Amino acid sequence: MKKSMMTTAVAVAIAGGSSGAFADNTAAALEQYRQMIQDSNPAELVEMEGEELWVTPRGPKNATMEKCDLGLGPGVVEGAYAQMPRYFQDTGRVQDLESRLMTCMENLQGIPSEEVINGKFRQGERGKVAALVAYVVGQSRGDTINVDLSHPKMKEMYDLGKQMFFYRSGPMDFSCSTCHAVDDKRIRMQDLPNLTTPEGAAAGWGSWPAYRVSNSQFWTMQHRLNDCFRQQRTAEPIYGSDVTIALSVYMAGTANGGEMNAPAAKR
């Protein structure tokens, strides 16, 4: 059922291209297609997997994640993601959701963070983190993005994230800003959010993590950022490293006031 809906939408998109008013029709058809995949969002399956994982005893300590503190107190998941990244007093660090989940897995379950950091996306413990991410993020759906930037370490990470966003390097001179600092641009047919404006940042940050229909994969923000840097032709960002967290603080901080609509479904 889901599949046939998508096929129809693609056919509509292609048919739209053959007419004279090609650009308008194609944009409209693509928008229709995006709506359709939102209505049958496969990310919900990953959310359910994560929800189950949250209450499953695992690791050397055979414990669940139910006492994990995501910033609103141990075990409070609802609304937690809309306020992340945030500064955590117990670790003395600004953490995004994925680095925070690693802290909980290590402390509560005894699963070493290295297993996630040195792992591969969608596999092993890193794959488990992704499922937990889907669950936690889903519990902030519809909430207002509300990241507190008042702590000096949050301010610092926001500034560093902004500098990194504009940092050009590598054989193609790219930075995040090459693609994400102007309104209404595309790479090929892919619309690019302008992450330097509140509206654009809300559209971008508010719709990730996401299930990508094009490759049938659920991608976390760490995964998304990793692939952005791959396409920028830089060296590889380490999973959960400060650069990735700083960029997340910059994006989420800019998106403040927008709505969380993740995990979303994407083309």
Partner 1 sequence: MKKMLMIAPLALFAGLAFADNHGEDKLQKMIQSSFKATGQATMDRMKQDEVQKACSDTDSLDDATRKKLEESQMATIKWPSDGDFYKGGDWKQGHKIAWSGRGLTWRDKPDSEVGGGCYNCHGLDPAEMSYGTIGPNLQGYAKIRGRSEEIVKYTWGKIYNAKAYHACSDMPRNGYGGILSEEQIRHVMAYLFDPESPVNK
Looking at the Cβ atoms of 253 and 258, the one nearer to partner 1 is 253
The answer to whether residue 68 is catalytic is no
- How distant, in Å, are the alpha carbons of 129, 163, 195, 245 from that of 156? 27, 11, 19, 11
CB 174 → partner 1: shortest distance, Å?
8
What is the closest distance, in whole angstroms, from the C-beta atom of residue 1 to partner 1 in the complex?
28
The CB-of-117 to partner 1 minimum distance in angstroms stands at 10
In whole angstroms, the minimum distance from the beta carbon of 98 to partner 1 comes to: 14
Q: How far apart are the first and last CA of the chain?
A: 17
Given 104, 176, 179, 228, the catalytic residue: 228
Measured over the CA atoms of residue 223, residue 225, residue 226 and residue 231, the dihedral's sign is positive
C-beta closer to partner 1: residue 5 or 189: 189
Question: Residues interacting with partner 1, by CB under 8 A?
Answer: 17, 22, 26, 156, 159-160, 163-164, 166-175, 178-179, 182, 184-190, 192, 230-231, 233-238, 241-244, 246
Q: How far is it, in rounded angstroms, from Cα 180 to Cα 249? A: 16
Query: Quick one: 94 or 137, whose CB is closer to partner 1?
Result: 94
If the CB atoms of residues 83 and 103 are measured against partner 1, the closer one turns out to be 103
Phi-psi region of 97 (alpha: psi -120 to 50; beta: other; left: phi over 0): alpha
**DSSP letters of 47-111?**
HHHHHHHHTS-BTTTTB-STT-BSSSSBT--TTTGGG-SEEETTTTEEE-HHHHHHHHIIIII--
Residues annotated as part of the active site: 228
